Amino acid sequence: MCISVLQLFYSFFKSLVGKDVVVELKNDLSICGTLHSVDQYLNIKLTDISVTDPEKYPHMLSVKNCFIRGSVVRYVQLPADEVDTQLLQDAARKEALQQKQ
């Protein structure tokens, strides 16, 4: 991913700190928790986590603090009412234009 788009999403996720999210990893594991922090590589720290499908993935226990490597994240599910999709869309479009120049 090009740097500035990464920056865009870094800022976006920063605005969601404190919200409950579900992070789906590339190995199909889904983890529910509160977004504690995110860094420039989109590494994610969650608190008060739980596994959304414990029967399928008994490995994960109810741990407290969790650090997820950005590169293993497939999706981050967000609370719909916390996301201004129009704003995000406009910002992404602007970013794409920036890239062309």
In whole angstroms, how far apart are CA 55 and each of 52, 58, 60?
A: 9, 6, 10
> Is residue 90 part of the contact set for other proteins (CB under 8 A)?
no
Which residues are CB-contacts of 90 (< 8 A; sequence separation ≥ 6)? Answer: none
Given candidates 66, 78, 83, 91, which one binds other proteins under the rule CB under 8 A?
66
Which of the 8 DSSP states describes residue 44?
E
Residue closer to other proteins, measured from CB, 64 or 81: 64
Find the part of the chain contacting other proteins (CB under 8 A) among 11-19, 25-33, 76-84: 25-33
Which of the 8 DSSP states describes residue 89?
H
Contacting positions for other proteins (CB under 8 A): 1-2, 5, 25-29, 31, 39, 41, 43, 45, 49, 59-72, 93, 96-97, 100
